Structure 1
Amino acid sequence: MGRCRLCHAISLSMMILHCALALPVEDGSVPNNDAPFQLIVNPKLVNRFTTHNMTLLCEHNSNVQTRLDEIFRMRIVKKSETGWDMIAEQRDVVQNPSVNGNVRASANIKGDISTVFLQISWDTVGDASFGVFKCDVTGFDARANVVTESSPEFEIREFQNFIEHFENLSKETKMKVEELKNWTENEVYELKKDFHDIENSIATLQRNKTSCDCERRLSSVETLLGSLTQWPGGFYALLRPKTGCPVDLAFFGGSDSFHKIHSESQSSLDPGDLQSQAFSPLTSFRVGSDNFFYMQFCEITRQFNLTPWPLGSFCIHKLLHHPCPAPFTTGRVSIDTENTGFAGDARNNIADRVYDPTLTFCCQGNSSATGPIRLPTESPFLLYRYGDVCQDVRGMSVSEEFIRINTDDSGLVDDLYGVYPDLDRVGSSGIKFYLCYYTKL
């Protein structure tokens, strides 16, 4: 199903703990389709200071036919300023391979082409492990002509490849959203395990960050981790901004959730419905003599990981028939809709009914809003403000937004229960919710 890169990210996140990263340009497990010989590095993701027993293997590419009938020399060479320097060489006239530098080598160049190889190993990865390598294989063809065949050049680079790798992971996550509709439950289960391991690795990175001696590299990594982070576990919903629901597997299927509130439509001295720039202009609209306020939601209805929510100060929407995720506390706000000519509509798991709905919330104020938390940064999103200050999120800029609903002037009144987002009473009847809109830095 093409999930190998996500699996690689698990080990990659662990390697970040040691700060100095090196990644091969191409996936060493995939043979090059154009050359009869190939180089394979193991492990594929290499840490300069802590990875041990790194190997570079030259072997026949079974997908490409070779002209060689008999081999008398295999070499692994490394590009230098003056050309190509020999790192290891095996000749048919000697028993053991010769090497230059602090490497070990093993080889077999006799017998069937499918079994020949030359492998070098570094006990501890260092400067000599990085650069451009290739292998040359020389021998005779079926007519006893001398032939030399080479692998493609294979580069093992340091930190600059790390950013490219994470960007590819985030692009692949977007593709998975569309693929998901055709997945089996077993495939979904396997992906959930991948994400859970990734989240654990990221948490480990955060715990060990202060002990690292290369903060500059970690700060560069910091903004990229949000692209890999998944939305925390639990059943809940976010209010949908004009940019749409976050591109995340957890929100798949929840983007059509809405509540069309029939707001005060008769003559009123109170300010009318209004929304700020984070919302579509069609959020508040009028049809004939009726005013409506259209709330759209992004619901999480399938669980993809069990990562707990970070401690902070903000609110999200609660889903009916599901408890708030820890460490949130439940609250409700009842909206008094227009009594005359009711024409509301709804399809969501947040409000208990279409007429005079009660919106359910999950709020927490367990930590200062100025203490940055980690949430996914791949797509814009909205959180309800709680405690007069927008929560700081790593890798995201934030603007304060609002929605204002002019509720019915007569009959029932708007009611508040438990904990709920920051809001103001507007005039004699009306509610103004304060929200925080996050976009990637």
Structure 2
Amino acid sequence: MKNRGVLVTLCFTFCPSVIAAFVEWPFGTYTLVKPKSGCPSGWQEGWRSQDSEDGRNRNSLSFGHHFYGSFGRNLKFYYCTRNPNMFSGRRYWPSGNYCILKHGASCPKGKKGKTFFFKCVLFFVREDGSYKTKVQLPTRNPFFLLRFTSPCQVVQGMYVREESVKFDDEDRNNKNSVSGKYPMGASNGRNQRLLYCYYSPLG
């Protein structure tokens, strides 16, 4: 009888993390910023280079950041795009408060998706839940999301750390603009400071 009690205790302790490990990425084609650990298996990779201010450049990233790329006077970020041919039995992104990068002509599945342009980059916003609610996303590998109007979204089975990127854009003839709803840190100002959420597996 004692052994059965131990088995039940272990199940209640470890089953949630085991279940989380088998969570699929939602259906659709979308893009996440590539972390140093790499892209999810089977995803496509690409990069985007940004020509920043030449004189007295003040680009900066969080100390000890986990972004993959090259970062100096100019910034080169790499991205992970979900392969459209990959199967997933999960249709929707979970309700919450966060942003991801849109890919293609339409938003990923989500009833309240909004989009906006940030120097020709398009984002998809979820704004239909509390950041405190633990959402389920794959926990096998680290990944990035963007903050929207709240602290970083809580993800079940993942540790989260905020990381930021400050873009020192051109001083002359600067045409930065945003509209609608957009990630925290973006603005109509000359420079931008986007706030990312870096997730890594617990334990």
- TM-score between both structures, scaled by the size of structure 1: 0.41
Distance 1:228 1:406 in 2: 40
1:228 is the counterpart of 2:10: no
Give the drift of 1:410. 1.4
Give the drift of 1:234. 1.5
Partner AA of 2:183 in structure 1: P
Gaps of 5+ in 1: 1-126, 128-158, 161-213, 286-290, 336-357
User: Corresponding residue for 1:265?
Assistant: 54
Of Structure 1 and Structure 2, which has the larger fraction of its residues in strand? 1
The match for 2:37 among 239, 243, 249 is 243
The aligned runs of 1:298-337 (5 Å cut-off) are 298-302=80-84, 303-307=86-90, 308-335=92-119
Of Structure 1 and Structure 2, which has the larger fraction of its residues in helix? 1
Distance 1:281 1:300 in 2: 17
Higher relative contact order (CA 8 A, sep 6+): 2
Q: Is the 8 A contact 1:406 1:430 kept in 2?
A: yes
Match of 2:139, SS state, is coil
The match for 2:157 among 395, 402, 410 is 395
Residues 278 and 265 of structure 1, relative CA distance in 2, 3 Å threshold: same
Give aligned pairs, total: 197
User: Corresponding residue for 2:65?
Assistant: 278
Partner AA of 1:279 in structure 2: H
Gaps of 5+ in 2: none
Distance 1:306 1:362 in 2: 21
Match of 2:129, SS state, is coil
Q: Is the 8 A contact 1:401 1:436 kept in 2?
A: yes
Partner AA of 1:278 in structure 2: H
Q: Is the 8 A contact 2:65 2:163 kept in 1?
A: yes
Per-residue Cα deviation, 1:323-355 (whole angstroms, up to 9, x for no partner):
3321352322333xxxxxxxxxxxxxxxxxxxx
Percent identity (aligned): 24
The match for 1:411 among 173, 178, 181 is 173
Give the drift of 1:304. 1.3
Match of 1:295, SS state, is strand
Q: Is the 8 A contact 2:48 2:77 kept in 1?
A: yes
Q: Is the 8 A contact 2:66 2:198 kept in 1?
A: no
Distance 1:220 1:397 in 2: 17
Distance 1:275 1:243 in 2: 17
Residues 397 and 267 of structure 1, relative CA distance in 2, 3 Å threshold: closer
1:359 is the counterpart of 2:121: yes
Distance 1:311 1:300 in 2: 20
RMSD after superposition: 2.6
Partner AA of 1:419 in structure 2: K
Partner AA of 1:407 in structure 2: D
Bigger Cα Rg: 1
Match of 1:228, SS state, is coil
Per-residue Cα deviation, 1:354-405 (whole angstroms, up to 9, x for no partner):
xxxx110001110000000111100001100112311001111101111111
Distance 1:409 1:297 in 2: 27
Residues 386 and 379 of structure 1, relative CA distance in 2, 3 Å threshold: same
Distance 2:81 2:16 in 1: 27
The aligned runs of 1:128-277 (5 Å cut-off) are 217-247=11-41, 249=42, 251=43, 254-255=44-45, 257-267=46-56, 272-276=58-62, 277=64
Partner AA of 2:61 in structure 1: Q
Per-residue Cα deviation, 1:121-175 (whole angstroms, up to 9, x for no partner):
xxxxxx9xxxxxxxxxxxxxxxxxxxxxxxxxxxxxxx97xxxxxxxxxxxxxxx
Give the drift of 1:243. 1.4
Match of 2:51, SS state, is strand
1:385 is the counterpart of 2:168: no
